[in-house]
Amino acid sequence: MKYLILSLLFVYSVPLFAKCNYGETIDLRVREKSILNRLPIQNQGNYGICYAYAGSFLVDFARNKNQLSSKRISPLHAGLIGTLHADSDSEEAGDVCEVVEGLSKAGSACSEDQVLKESRYKEMGMYFHQNVVQDVFMPFIMKKEAFKKVPAASFDKRVNLTTSQLNFLKRFDQFYTKLKSHLATKQFNGSYVPTAKEVFNYAQSIHIANTYHSLSTGFTKLLVEKNCTSRINVPPLRCTKEKRTYGNNTLIETIDKVLSETKPAAIHYCSVVLTNAKVSGLDGVGNKKSNCLPHASVIIGKRSRAGSCEYLIRNSWGTNSRYAHTTDQGDIWIKEDLLRKNLYEVMTVD
């Protein structure tokens, strides 16, 4: 009973519905038409980087607001930058603010039109991690100093090296031949392929730093950046995150404030609400339940409908996905009470 009372206090500690005046509509597709036309709905496919799509959207909106280049940042590159900035294990689980902060720190990013067929990068990152460990690192794991100390200048000439170092480089050459062949099967060729020396320098730096968890992410980033003939400048930006915690369920009010400033907000929420309008991914105090699959999208509008508020979600599942809600040009109108039951973080950019 005590838990039930606390849960009810939490739920009703804020207004059940944010103020939504009859007929009120805030739609950034209308109010910021020129910007939103340049930021259409994207499709992340089977690559779990929804947070990177949401984060790069916030950055691109801010850039366009400041009348910078209209080209769009590659969500994949943004996700890789954010992952390495946060020192995470994989780019397939991340945070919107880590993307914004990583991009802001980097100062630039590859454009979306230079990074095509994202799934092949994922496959190559996994292939690189598995095979460089198996074919290069493991046979020499007891002799770390031998290949940690191979001078970069000796990679080409192969002089003044110990037998162990020469054996290491021989195995590395065999690995690189296999890697290059595998890259060709994924339609990487010419300027898309890092040189043997670039791959060696990267692998050696990882081994020296003992940061093996970033092997896949770092190599994928290296591969992506081989596509970049030019970079998109990213201005200094600040990402603010508000979390739903016990006693604090004011996230909808934060979204309202941001929308009133004619800006989008990014959300972390349970994706189950997109396909099932009758379930909640959070319990009474805001903890994730087993059915909550963490997801990220952006909110680009709100409206009054049948006496309550609805919020407009721009998702990254393409324009043909089926949802348990009204869709509008591929975007999703979701009722406020359903959003509250699945929403646990809101991110904004200044």
Mean predicted confidence (pLDDT) in 92-106: 96
Give the pLDDT confidence score for residue 308 in this predicted structure: 84
Nearest-CA neighbor of 316 among 81, 65, 47?
Answer: 47
Mean predicted confidence (pLDDT) in 54-82: 92
Integer Rg of the chain from CA: 24
Kindly tell me if the per-residue pLDDT of 141 is higher than 60: no
Kindly tell me if the per-residue pLDDT of 93 is higher than 90: no
Q: What is the pLDDT of residues 172-223, one digit of tens each?
A: 999 999 999 999 999 998 888 999 999 999 988 888 888 889 999 999 999 9
Give the pLDDT confidence score for residue 311 in this predicted structure: 97
pLDDT band at 146 (very low <50, low <70, confident <90, very high): low
Give the pLDDT confidence score for residue 4 in this predicted structure: 44
pTM of the shown model: 0.90
Mean predicted confidence (pLDDT) in 116-136: 89
What does DSSP assign to residue 289? Answer: P
Enumerate the β-bridge partners of residue 305: 308
What residue ranges of the chain are covered by domains with CATH 3.90.70?
A: 2-67+237-349
Give the pLDDT confidence score for residue 264 in this predicted structure: 98
For domain 2-67+237-349, give its CATH number from 3.30.300, 3.40.50, 3.90.70, 1.10.10. Answer: 3.90.70
Give the pLDDT confidence score for residue 39 in this predicted structure: 95
Mean predicted confidence (pLDDT) in 339-349: 96
Kindly tell me if the per-residue pLDDT of 10 is higher than 60: no
Give the pLDDT confidence score for residue 50 in this predicted structure: 97
Q: What is the DSSP string of 41-106?
A: --B-TT---HHHHHHHHHHHHHHHHTT---SPBPHHHHHHHHHHHHT-S-TTS--HHHHHHHHHHH
Rounded CA-CA distance 155/298 in Å is 47
How many CB atoms are closer than 10 A to CB 151? 11
Give the pLDDT confidence score for residue 7 in this predicted structure: 44
Q: What is the pLDDT of residues 35-52, one digit of tens each?
A: 999 999 999 999 999 999
175: left (phi over 0), alpha (psi -120 to 50) or beta: alpha
Please, is 304 exposed, middle or buried when counting C-beta atoms within 10 Å of its C-beta (0-12, 13-18, 19+)? middle
Quick one: what percent of the chain has pLDDT higher than 90?
66
Nearest-CA neighbor of 137 among 211, 82, 198?
Answer: 211
Q: What is the pLDDT of residues 294-326, one digit of tens each?
A: 999 999 999 998 888 999 999 999 999 999 999
